[in-house]
Structure 1
Amino acid sequence: MSYDNTAKYLAELYPADFANWLLPNQPNQEVTVLKTELSIEPIRADSVIFLQTKSRILHLEFQTLAKSNPPIPLRILDYYVRLKRQYRKPITQVVIFLQETDDEVAFTTEYTDEMTTHRYRVVRLWEQDAAQFLNNPALLPFAPLARTDSPSSLLSQVAQSVAKISNRVERQNIAGCTEIFAGLRFTKDLIRQFLREDIMQESVIYQDILQKGEFKLFYRQLNRRFGEVDTSIIEQIRALSTEQLEALGEAFLDFASVDDLVTWLDQLQ
């Protein structure tokens, strides 16, 4: 399951709530999702988002695992330089770690290399107070990952907060995201005691996340087997439905070259 992609969806749906959470000294500003021309590797595109206020850019990265290539500190510096060059605005960069870890990367807040030092913020969700998430639907899905001494009590509170969301579609989507994140920490049986699976599966966000997860898996397989592939082909694959991606994954086993992939895609048109 693509946990970082789920977090990105929430930030895109509720940019002001994320900005108010992470920029508490600049509340109630108009916030938009920045559709930047910066190139982002397809494998990272599902976990990186840029938000823009009138006076600042907020760069968010969601991480499930601490290890990455290039390393997180270097990648943060790279984005900072490119954002600064293009927009010439103050930039706040925040790496949000979703799953508890003792890896030093999750406790690192700067890139250092001889004469260069670049600092950024790190949020470790397992250290956060759940109360700040429970009363805000935009942040509610993070609540199962927050600090707690009683998992059952926390999940019960989360379920009650989900039930209070009056809009049916929003309730389904938030429930879907919440259950996805809860899976990082709790057993399926415990989650099912408090969160209903049927509500999650009705969520359009959940279905979209499934599609993105299938794409990411296939992209890795494609790169490993055939190396870099033309961007136009990648975009065709990205546009496929979950069912089509599953079918492509099966057919891919018999492909001898990229030409076979192109032929398969052409047959869909």
Structure 2
Amino acid sequence: MQFDNLCKYLAEKYPDKFASWLLGQPTTRVEVLKTELSLEPIRADSVTFLRTHSEILHLEFQVQVPTGKPMPLRMLNYFVRLYWQYNLPVTQVLIWLQQTTNSAVLETQFRQGLTSHGYQVIRMWEQPPEPLLQDLALLPMAVLAATNNPTELLTQVASEVAKIESKVQRQEISASTEILAGLRFNKNLIRNLFREGIMRESVIYQDILEEGRQEGRQEGRQEEALVMVMRPLVRRFGTLNAELESRLEELSVTQLEDLIEALFDFYDVSDLVNWLEERRRI
């Protein structure tokens, strides 16, 4: 999850750079939308909404293929709610970060009956590195780009990072690069190429953030997921009784994430109770 969250951070800090790259043309005055769509909050781990003067740009970063609702359905869901709320053209870009043989990364549209919805897909391992190497905001993404010599590419990225004059910015881009490089490269190689202290710390930080690596991290994820569930529940059904809240607090992170998606089908609190009873029997 830390990889998705990092990409979201970079896209929201440098929205014009990401918009220009993904739209294929210089784009300025890009606004990061810090709002919620109806029924479900924006998922802070992977979703970024940018707004130019004439359209909405929806970025979805994914490391692994989700096991719940398929990505084409999720993309359609976001498109409908974005267009409904803003009444502007919506450009959607699904960015797969880690190479895989799963055929789901080849899907570019949702089709069901008469309904068809398409979106753009970028598989980072197929992208040329040159455009990413030329912009410091996109440098961390370059380590995931296409290459016949991954080590040479990582070395080139490290060289470009070292040229950044501002120490604060250099450390930030370095740390971001190390984290994303962890998807592809051996950590010892990363340490050897990025020698500045803050870069080494970022590798340690990556270890700490690995899912399930530490109990504290797991508890933090559970609390975050619980907040994401409680907000739309309270908004729709009002304050929940103590028993329901207690049962929600006992759910695992995976169960809470499943519940977030199931909320779309709930009409009243009884649907929530039934959903909890079904999970208790599993």
- Which residue number corresponds to residue 249 of structure 1? none
**Contact 1:172/1:202 (8 A) holds in 2:** no
SS in 1 for 2:104: helix
- Who is 1:19 aligned against? 19
* 1:57 CA drift (Å): 0.4
**Residue of structure 1 equivalent to 2:254:** none
Q: What is the correspondence of 1:185-224 to structure 2 with a 5 Å cutoff?
A: 185-196=184-195, 198-200=197-199, 217-218=218-219, 221=222
Percent identity over the alignment is: 52
Q: CA deviation digits over 1:95-143, x for unaligned, max 9?
A: 0000001211111000000100000000000001111111211110011
Distance 1:64 1:161 in 2: 25
Aligned to 2:27, the other structure's residue is in SS state: coil
Distance of 2:140 and 2:175 partners within structure 1? 8
**Match of 1:6?**
6
Which ranges in structure 2 are unaligned for 5 or more consecutive residues?
233-244, 250-282
Please tell me the residue identity of whatever aligns with 2:117: H
Q: 1:34 to 1:153 in 2, by over 3 A?
A: same
Q: For residue 148 of structure 1, give the secondary structure of its aligned residue in structure 2.
A: coil
Output the TM-score relative to the length of structure 2. Answer: 0.73
Q: After the TM superposition, which of the residue ranges 213-222 and 57-66 deviates more from structure 2?
A: 213-222
Count of residue pairs brought into register by the alignment: 233
Check conservation: 1:67, 1:105, Cα contact below 8 A.
no
Q: Are 2:43 and 1:65 aligned?
A: no
Match of 1:122 in 2: 121
Distance 1:37 1:101, change over 3 A: same
Matches within 5 A, 1:1-269: 2-25=2-25, 27-38=26-37, 44-196=43-195, 198-200=197-199, 217-218=218-219, 221=222, 230-231=230-231, 258=246
CA contact (8 A) 1:134 1:161 kept: yes
The separation in 2 between residues aligned to 1:131 and 1:54, in whole angstroms, is: 28
SS, match of residue 171 in structure 1? helix
Post-superposition offset of 1:210: 5.1
Cα distance change of structure 1 residues 34 and 229 upon mapping to structure 2, 3 Å threshold = closer
TM-score (norm 1): 0.76
Q: State how far apart, in whole Å, the 1-side matches of 2:43 and 2:114 are.
A: 28
Deviations 1:9-56 (A, max 9, x none): 00011000000001114x233101012221586793210000000001
CA-based RMSD of the aligned residues comes to 3.4
The alpha carbon displacement at 1:153 in A equals 1.0
Aligned-residue offset at 1:229: 6.1
TM-superposed deviation, 1:196: 2.5
Equivalent position SS for 2:143 = helix
Q: Which amino acid aligns with 2:63?
A: T
